[in-house]
Amino acid sequence: MNEFIPIKILYISSRGDAGAGGENYLLTLFRNLDRKRFQPIVVLPSDGSLRKPLEDLGIEVIVIVANHGWLTPDSAWYSLVAGLQTRVKTIADIITSQHIALVHTNSNHRFEGALAARITGIPHLYLAHIEYQPEMPLFQRLPFSQASFAELMSELSDQVVAVSNSVSAALAQHVADDKLQVIHNGLELSLFDVTLIDYANQLKEELSIPLDSLLITAVGRIAFDKGFDCFIEVAKRVLQHHKMGVHFILVGGEENIDFSNLLKQKVTDYAISDHFHFLGFRTDIPNILAASDIFVLSSRKEGHPYVMLEAMASNCAVVAFNCAGVEETIEEGDSGFIVPIGDINAMAERLLLLIDNIDLRQALAKSAKQRIKEFFTAEKTATELMTVYEKLLQQPKKLEGSIAIELFLQNCSELGHLGEMSVAMNERLRRVEHLADFIQNNPITKSLCYLRKQLKSLV
């Protein structure tokens, strides 16, 4: 390898917008990647808010449109399938023209990069941020078992990097030991140290609540897997005992509007609106955490929750449901509290204990920040990942081409187009049926039929 020319790596992102854990992972990685050794190029599925921070880091961004987020309508699903062949060919062309040496897919529900890497004969790395999620739109349409999903990850990858031991364990039976590695998420601590100094009271001033209020915060996409319905139930129980001086904060974009409306209705029904604040999507998460005293992770599923690390770095005492990655990060009773997933009473009890005991809050927060400093830094994550890159790049070059993938892509294209035609024909048939019903039930038609019968009777 020529040490003066950085090696190009193509990153496939699952989202075009910033704010979620996987996208924060990429931005943090790129700030700590040795850019003299590696040059990142990023493929986004939409031209969203992630583009600017990437370009601000001097990273080339390529948009290849793909909608993986709303596949319930048949038309959306068939459109995604019909375009797979074109998307893979586009990525393969980028690999060839830009002399890409490795593809890194930053998601477990994007396959285009893996297929393009196989066709062009270059290594592919899957970054597994979370365990298999059958309720995701893609996997509702492709109902794999956990075992089949793990086998697919192994088949399409030269290396699988899991962000926690829990995620790794879910894949281990079908991914060879030498192809599977755990690299935990890491943070840039300096960012959080600055916000703790500059923004400690800003959120309370924004919400017009007393500066001595105690803030209990949760952050994440407003979706069922984040468990914010549990967070509201916990808030209800806590506020029955401590209504004065305690405020709950929920931060996150509304990925599921129906679920979001349900949460807001619950807050209204429980009469806790004065002490429960929906902040929506925010880009200043470090500032919000700097103003918070306690952080709650109410998720039903995670991989290695990025925002929990951010809370620990922000001097928050943490109470977390025991989803994947939590036990590897928090030492129960020392750097946070861990309760069973869905155990609302246990979480409320831990929060009440922390509300009443400032010394315990501060001790947990101090220990949590020390855990981040020792084990979960961005520099450590980037260093370990670059070592994996080097290992993959030193492997013997593979032959280009795969007849199986080429045939698969062609079949997907034809199936997708047939599906689109079927949807269009069904829509036309529906309109014809609607027109027939309209004609049959139209008053003029009925009058003409009546008149015709009368004329027949006269004859």
Q: Could you tell me the CATH number of the domain that includes residue 113?
A: 3.40.50.2000
324 and 225 part of one domain: yes
105 and 33 part of one domain: yes
Is pLDDT at 2 greater than 60 in this prediction? no
234 and 147 part of one domain: no
406 and 260 part of one domain: no
Maximum Cα–Cα distance across the chain: 102
282 and 395 part of one domain: no
Render pLDDT for 368-393 as a digit per residue (tens, 0 to 9). 999 999 999 999 999 999 999 999 99
Neighbour-count burial for 121-131, b at 16+ CB within 10 Å, e otherwise: ebbbbbbbbbb
Range of the domain at 83: 7-186+380-411
pLDDT tier for residue 455 given thresholds of 50, 70 and 90: low
Q: What is the pTM of this model?
A: 0.84
Render pLDDT for 19-58 as a digit per residue (tens, 0 to 9). 777 888 999 999 999 999 999 999 999 998 999 999 999 9
| Tokens linked to 277 | 């604040």
209 and 222 part of one domain: yes
Give the count of domains, the chain: 2
* Greater model confidence, 317 or 427: 317
* Greater model confidence, 434 or 181: 181
User: Tokens 């309760």 identify what position?
Assistant: 339
178 and 245 part of one domain: no
Of the three residues 357, 376, 395, the one that is the final residue of a domain is 376
357 and 402 part of one domain: no
d(CA 17, CA 361): 34
- Residue 352 domain-assigned (yes or no): yes
Looking at residue 279, what is its pLDDT?
92
146 and 219 part of one domain: no
Render pLDDT for 117-175 as a digit per residue (tens, 0 to 9). 999 999 999 999 888 888 888 888 888 888 998 998 899 999 999 999 999 998 998 98
